[in-house]
Amino acid sequence: MTRNRFFATTAALGLSAAVAYAANENPMVGGAPMFADKNIIENAVNSADHETLVAAVKAAGLVETLQGEGPFTVFAPTDAAFGMLNEGAVEALLEPKAKAQLTQILTCHVVGADAMAAAIKGMIDDDGGMHVVPTLGGCMLKATYKGDKIMLEDERGQVINVTIADVKQSNGVIHVVDRVILPKAN
């Protein structure tokens, strides 16, 4: 083997290994690395973009549940998503008297399965372009996709976009979303 061919082969192998390594890494969320060997709560508390979600999960008493075995798929709204709610809504939901309502809203973001984006797209395709996703909170979400973007429609007709997909966890997966999923209005 010539010297140039040896270096080209070595460089190609090194690049392939780097690409393979990068493909197995989780995306950064909220400026923090997300570790596949940590559970949903252990990772979420490190994301600067999910401080409101973490506070809400604590107020609802769902920390132990989301640290549990799972598997769970969590559609995790960012702080900006919570900021889109009516003024004072977040503060009102964090009050002890609103615990039942907060719990329902939060569990409408959780599915009792480990659903990566490719699996969700496959279910959408199998169902002719839209798949109904039942959540642990009793909400029925309508999942669709366009290109690489997965969208959910909640029971109020809001479209929620998955902005970061496939953040692997030891007990499931997180998909970061740009809106808070709301149950049907009573």
At 27 the pLDDT is 87
Q: What is the mean pLDDT of residues 73-81?
A: 97
Q: What band does 162 get if pLDDT is binned at 50, 70 and 90?
A: very high
At 22 the pLDDT is 39
Give the span between the Cα atoms of 28 and 159, in whole angstroms.
24
Q: What band does 185 get if pLDDT is binned at 50, 70 and 90?
A: confident
Instruction: For the chain, list the domains and their CATH numbers.
Output: 3-177 (2.30.180.10)
At 7 the pLDDT is 34
pTM of the model: 0.85
Helix (H, G, I), strand (E, B) or coil at 30: coil
Question: Is residue 60 a contact partner of residue 97, using CB atoms and an 8 Å limit?
Answer: no
Q: What band does 5 get if pLDDT is binned at 50, 70 and 90?
A: very low
Q: What percent of the chain has pLDDT over 70?
A: 87
Question: Is residue 31 a contact partner of residue 133, using CB atoms and an 8 Å limit?
Answer: no
Angle ∠(115,120,121) on CA atoms, nearest 5: 150
**How many other C-beta atoms are found inside a 10 Å radius of the C-beta of residue 154?**
22
Categorise residue 156: left if φ over 0, alpha if ψ from -120 to 50, beta otherwise. alpha
